[in-house]
Amino acid sequence: MADIKACLFDLDGVIVDTAKYHFLAWRRLCNELGFDLTEEENESLKGISRVESLEILLKLGGVILTQEEKDEWLVKKNDWYLEFVDSMNPDEILPGVVHFLDLLKGAGIKIALGSASKNAMLILKKVELLPYFDAVIDGTKVSKGKPDPQTFTLGAEATGAHPSECVVFEDSQAGVEAGNRGGMYTIGVGDETVLDRAHVVIPGFENQDLKLFNRL
């Protein structure tokens, strides 16, 4: 088994399914700007920042906005998203996640969050997972979004682990690329045809244990 000292987790789609709330909020924004957003198109927004996501959508809809207008729409989108987040509770943790985190804690492996979300702390508190995390690297602490490795290299530093001792859990291509570029092991959570650049791909955390690391 690889000598693993820390595990770094993306938030949306890995620990909780807030991706559905982002989709609903982005779709509302698109509709108000005069075009629609499909679930397939929404896939391209996974793992990247709110600002970058808006730029992608404006190109998709052929809409040109001033910087001031962009800032206003970003605030609106976040407000709509937070309305959903405000009602979150531990029931929204994805299956198997808590058990897996318990196994990591029991093995003395550090746990960090590596997310582009600026609402990560709020979400972790809402679902009562914050005590599990030794470090939280979120959108308030990074200047470069995924696929740049900064999110995860900061996570490794915060846990005191060398990148080669870290495992990144991600559900997006950009996140997997960020982990790979950071010199870490990557485990994709989701569709292996989408996450084929990860070292290992799992459908989710149900029925997973630390033997998973033997596959790295």
List per-residue pLDDT tens for the chain, 216 residues long: 569 999 999 999 999 988 889 999 999 999 999 999 999 999 888 878 889 999 999 999 999 999 999 999 999 999 999 999 999 999 999 999 999 999 999 999 999 999 988 889 999 999 999 999 999 999 999 999 899 999 999 999 999 999 999 999 999 999 999 999 999 999 999 999 999 999 999 999 999 999 999 999
Q: Quick check: is 71 catalytic? A: no
Task: Tell me which H or E stretch contains 187.
Answer: strand 185-189
Phi (first) and psi of residue 60, to 5 degrees: -60, -40
Point out the catalytic residue in the list 3, 10, 79, 191: 10
What is the number of other CB atoms lying within 10 angstroms of the CB of residue 181? 17
Catalytic residue among 12, 86, 196, 209: 12
Give the CATH class of 19-85.
Answer: mainly alpha
What's the pTM?
0.85
Question: 89 exposed, middle or buried (CB, 10 Å; 0-12, 13-18, 19+)?
Answer: exposed
Residue 17 annotated among the catalytic residues of the structure = no
Would you list the domain boundaries of the chain? 6-17+91-215, 19-85
CA-derived radius of gyration, the chain: 17
Closest CA to 172 of 1, 58, 79, 49: 49
**Fold of the domain built from segment(s) 6-17+91-215:** Rossmann fold (3.40.50)
- Burial 53-74, CB ≥16 within 10 A → b, else e: bbeebbeeeeeeeeeeeeeebe
Report the sign of the C-alpha dihedral through residues 31, 35, 37, 42, in that order.
negative
* Residue keyed to tokens 């009562």: 128
